[in-house]
């Protein structure tokens, strides 16, 4: 296991340390098993494509960009399509970083991305460096809301004034709405994985107010979750093994989310502009 001290100056409680060690073991195992494939991060490739599609809307040519928690670089390589000026990317799993570097010769032969081993709680970057910073399903891996706040402060620190933090995470409020819908059909509620701590929207909005302007909230996965975590279950017997590859997943991934699509997608993005 790499970096057992997690690169932190402050002390971790025993509970935090055990949680982070368990998380690190999980992601190191995923990286070893799946290499450069999206399954290293998540098996739901359609949801990942929705994340990437929405992320790239906010990356401008010549931007200095930081990918905070890059995993195996699956998403990082894609943002090169937006022609950023510089890209740095880190992950706290050394095995993930190694997988990204192995894939780089094919996906980034010019070496435009600099991958390194790091920690979102103490980012090894200077203050006011980046035009855009993003984290995709990373902050939810931290063991407590207090540690999640530390990560938010670090993102704020490394951004230029007016820079944007693209906060792609999983949220408790959206999950409650989705589960209320599932309850109408008698389906069991969906639970967060044991290694995740989903974000509570009200806490987030209150905390970031002095640091960031909330420019918008992108509820890009709402229709997809309705289709794949509700409609799909209506159309099955319940005996089928879980799959992310059925035709209903592609159908709902292709639908455009609009102002009437609701807030049922557990993944969404807060676009935060540094004050």
Query: What domains are there in the chain, each with its CATH number?
Result: 14-236+257-274 (3.40.50.150)
Task: Answer whether 138's CB lies under 8 Å from 75's CB.
Answer: no
Residue 126 exposed, middle or buried by CB count within 10 Å (0-12, 13-18, 19+): exposed
Task: Answer whether 185's CB lies under 8 Å from 230's CB.
Answer: yes
The pLDDT value recorded for residue 189 is 97
Among residues 162, 186, 191, 187, which one has the least CA distance to residue 175? Answer: 191
pTM of the model: 0.94
The pLDDT value recorded for residue 241 is 78
Q: Which residues pair with 132 in a beta bridge?
A: 65, 164
The pLDDT value recorded for residue 242 is 76
Cα(51)–Cα(251) distance, integer angstroms:
16
The pLDDT value recorded for residue 240 is 81
The pLDDT value recorded for residue 187 is 96
Q: List the pLDDT tens digit at each of the 275 positions of the chain.
A: 334 444 454 578 888 988 899 999 999 999 999 999 999 999 999 999 999 999 999 999 999 999 999 999 999 999 999 999 999 999 999 999 999 999 999 999 999 999 999 999 999 999 999 999 999 999 999 999 999 999 999 999 999 999 999 999 999 999 999 999 999 999 999 999 998 999 999 999 999 999 999 999 999 999 999 999 999 999 988 888 778 988 999 999 999 999 999 999 999 999 999 99
Task: Answer whether 169's CB lies under 8 Å from 148's CB.
Answer: no
């Amino acid at each position: 296991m790499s970096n057992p001290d997690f690169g932190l100056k402050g002390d971790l409680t025993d509970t935090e340390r055990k949680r982070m060690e368990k998380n690190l073991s999980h992601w190191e195992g995923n990286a070893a098993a799946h290499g450069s494939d999206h399954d290293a991060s998540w098996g739901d490739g359609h949801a990942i494509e929705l994340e990437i599609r929405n992320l790239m809307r906010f990356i401008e040519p010549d931007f200095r960009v930081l990918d905070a928690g890059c995993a195996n670089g699956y998403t990082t390589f894609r943002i090169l399509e937006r022609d950023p000026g510089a890209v740095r990317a880190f992950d706290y799993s050394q095995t993930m970083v190694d997988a990204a570097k192995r894939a780089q010769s094919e996906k980034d032969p010019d070496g435009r991305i600099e991958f390194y081993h790091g920690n979102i709680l103490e980012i090894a970057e200077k203050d006011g460096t980046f035009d855009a910073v993003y984290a995709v399903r990373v902050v939810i891996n931290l063991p407590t809301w207090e540690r999640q706040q530390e990560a938010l402060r670090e993102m704020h620190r490394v951004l230029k004034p007016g820079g944007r933090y693209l906060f792609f995470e999983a949220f408790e409020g959206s999950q409650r709405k989705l589960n209320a819908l599932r309850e109408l059909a008698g389906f069991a509620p969906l639970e967060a994985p044991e290694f995740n701590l989903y974000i509570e929207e009200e806490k987030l909005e209150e905390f970031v107010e002095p640091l960031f302007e909330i420019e918008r909230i992108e509820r890009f996965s709402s229709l997809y979750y309705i289709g794949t975590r509700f409609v799909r279950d209506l159309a099955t017997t319940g005996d089928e093994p879980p799959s992310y590859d059925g035709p209903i997943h592609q159908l709902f991934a292709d639908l455009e989310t609009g102002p009437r699509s609701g807030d049922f997608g557990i993944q969404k993005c807060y676009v935060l502009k540094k004050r």
